[in-house]
Chain A
Amino acid sequence: MEAVASARQEAVDRRKVVLLVEDEFRIRWTTSEYLRDAGFRVIEATSAHEAIEVISCLTRVDIVFSDINLNGEINGHLLARWVAKYHPDVVMLLTSGDPSASALVATGRTRGFVPKPYLLADLQLRLEEMLGS
């Protein structure tokens, strides 16, 4: 029994961790459910402030997927800047319904942008691609 529990825990710990930052409930709900079914561990944050709280308490996060327009004082761009400064190993993917917002996103191996609305299957592929899995 212990071996089974241990193997299960190992499988759980191997899951890639997505920190989903989205202030619209319905988008957060459907996206998080889809990504969990796809095998990710998903932590849900409703603001950049919450995302910083999660990362700062030493929770393992592999990728932050954040909306740019968020409630509160910190938008997705500022969150991305904070992540790049304090957690440069964490991959950052931004999204927005405003296509012009992509111009302000620094892109590269660990930074990216997907326009809204996105297909969940496409999002999954993009996350896997950025995580190299």
Chain B
Amino acid sequence: MNTNTEQQVVMVVEPDVLVRMVIADYLRECGYKVIEGVAADDVWAVLQSGDHMDVLLADVELAGDVDGFTVATRIRQTYADVDVILTSGISGAADKVQDLCEDGPFKKPYQPKDVETRIKALQARRRASENKDLRQD
């Protein structure tokens, strides 16, 4: 887990180039290191390389055969230190997404600043949880 002083890493997995460009640029301007991907394989490539990511921001519809739901499920099972935010432009996907990422999905079109607010909230929650664990040890 990165500390507060280290640059937080967000992986943005979004097949639409214009959506990806806007959110990735915005998060970089906010100070995050951003890795861009379009498919589930890109996520596995980063995680298996040993590079760390703090947050995965992924659309439910991805390039390739594996969708965002599947990626989120596997991350929750295998990489518990990665927070997941799913996005969707599909109405009706919300209920399914609710079970896979904290605080529900981001419905497209979203405001980049709202994504950053969500990232900050997730990171604050994680830090609070880690501090609580430390106090209990």
Which residues of A come within 8 Å of B, CB atoms?
A: 12, 25-26, 28-29, 32-33, 36, 41, 43-46, 50, 53-54, 57, 59
Contacts and interface: CB of A to CB of B under 8 A. Distances in A.
Interface residues of B, number: 18
17 contacts: A12-B29, A25-B37, A26-B45, A28-B36, A29-B35, A29-B36, A29-B42, A32-B36, A36-B28, A44-B20, A44-B21, A44-B24, A44-B36, A45-B17, A54-B17, A54-B18, A59-B21
Contacts of A44: 17, 20-21, 24, 36
B42 A25 contact: yes
Given A44-B20, A54-B17, 8 more contacts: A12-B29, A29-B42, A29-B45, A29-B46, A32-B36, A44-B24, A45-B17, A59-B21
A41 B42 CA distance: 21
A53 to B, nearest CB: 6
Interface of B: 17-18, 20-21, 24-25, 28-29, 35-39, 41-42, 45-46, 63
B23 to A, nearest CB: 12
A54 B21 contact: yes
Contacts of A29: 35-36, 42, 45-46
B112 to A, nearest CB: 15
A35 to B, nearest CB: 13
A46 B38 contact: yes
B18 A53 contact: yes
Contacts of B28: 36
A42 to B, nearest CB: 9
B124 to A, nearest CB: 24
A128 B132 CA distance: 50
